[in-house]
Amino acid sequence: MLAKKNIHFEVSERKILLRILDVVMLYLGVYGLSLYVKFEYIEFSAANTVALVLLGVYYTIFASIFELYDLQKASRLDTTFKNLVITVSTAVLFYLLTPVLSPNLPDERIQILYLFFTLILSVLSWRLLYIYLIETPRFYKRVLLVGEISNIDGLIKALNTTDPNYKIVGFINSEKSSEESVKFKGLPEFEASDFLGTIEREKISEILVASFDSEAIMAEVYHDLMVLLERGFKIRDYTQVYEELLQKVPIQFVGKDFYKYFPFSRSNENKLYIFFQRTFDILFSIIGLVIGMVFIPFILLGNALGNRGPLFYTQERVGKNSKPFNILKLRSMVVDAEAQGAKWAQKNDTRITKFGMFLRRSRMDEIPQFYNVLKGDMSIIGPRPERPFFVSELARIIPFYETRHIIKPGLTGWAQVSTRYGASVEDSLTKLQYDLYYIKHRSVFLDFSIFIKTLSTIVYYRGQ
Per-residue CA distances from 365 to 266, 285, 389, 454 (Å): 33, 14, 22, 15
Amino acid at 169: V
Phi/psi at 148 (5° precision)? -80, 145
| Three-state DSSP class for residue 321 | helix
Under the banding of pLDDT at 50, 70 and 90, the label for residue 255 is low
How much is the pLDDT for 136?
75
Half-sphere exposure of 186 (CA within 13 A, CB side): 13
CATH class of the 140-246 domain in this structure: alpha beta
Pick the closest to residue 236 from 144, 137, 159 (CA basis): 144
pLDDT (tens digit, 9 = 90+) per residue, 201-254? 998 989 998 877 677 788 888 899 999 999 889 899 888 888 888 888 888 777
Whether the predicted pLDDT of 192 surpasses 80: yes
pLDDT at residue 461 is higher than 60: no
pLDDT in tens, 360-417: 877 888 899 999 999 999 999 999 999 998 899 899 988 889 999 999 999 999 998 8
Q: Which long-range CB contacts under 8 A does 209-212 form with residues at least 24 apart?
A: 209/146, 209/147, 209/174, 209/235, 209/236, 209/237, 209/238, 210/145, 210/146, 210/147, 210/148, 210/151, 210/152, 210/155, 210/238, 211/146, 211/147, 211/148, 211/151, 211/174, 212/148, 212/151, 212/253, 212/255
420: pLDDT confidence band, cut at 50, 70 and 90? Answer: confident
Q: What angle do CA 106, 107, 109 make, to 5 degrees?
A: 70
> pTM of the predicted model, to two decimals?
0.79
The domain ranges of the chain are 11-134, 140-246, 266-459
Q: What is the pLDDT of residues 14-53, one digit of tens each?
A: 889 999 999 999 999 999 888 877 777 888 888 888 989 9
